[in-house]
Amino acid sequence: MDKTKIICRCEEISYEEIEEVVGHGAKTFDDIKRLTRCGMGPCQAKTCTNLVAMVIHEQTGTPLSEIPLPRIRMPLSPIKLETLATNSTTFSTVKSVLDELELEEGRVK
């Protein structure tokens, strides 16, 4: 493959940028993602997964069947925040940093 070829269109990451981090020991799609942002854009690796696997295969000789897939997370395609929100303003697991302050005898500990 041409070294300047764009592998991740969302983040404009080229073959040689991926090659460079594989040279530093990155082995999986997710390693490469964190170091280059490849696959972090709006399509969330839907376009580049197989292309990146090819680069890893070409650079390391790892059989394609042994290259792990990227971790897929919610939402599977972009979704508006208002669709997720229920408009409740009471929180339990989610906190503000002030919630964490503990007072002791009317003073901050």
Whichever of 65 and 96 has its CB closer to another protein, that residue is 96
Residue closer to another protein by CB (options 69, 79) is: 79
- Centre a 10 Å sphere on the Cβ of residue 13 and count the other Cβ atoms it contains: 24
Scanning the structure block, which residue is given the tokens 């009317």?
Answer: 106
Tell me: does residue 95 bind another protein (CB under 8 A). yes
Look up residue 8 and give its amino acid: C
Q: Contact, 41 vs 11, CB < 8 A?
A: yes
| Helix (H) / strand (E) containing 13 | strand 13-14
Q: Segment contacting another protein (CB under 8 A): 1-9, 49-57, 61-69, 91-99?
A: 91-99
Is residue 96 a contact point for another protein (CB under 8 A)?
yes
CA 15 from chain centre, in angstroms, equals 18
CB nearer to another protein: pick between 54 and 62 = 62
Span from 1-9, 30-38, 49-57, 60-68 in contact with another protein (CB under 8 A): 30-38
Rounded (10°) angle between helices 29-36 and 49-60 = 100
- Strand 103-104 and strand 107-108: the pairing is antiparallel
Indicate whether 89 belongs to the interface with another protein (CB under 8 A): yes
The binding site for another protein (CB under 8 A) comprises 24-28, 30-31, 34-35, 37, 40-42, 44, 73-75, 78-82, 84-89, 91-98, 100-103, 106-109
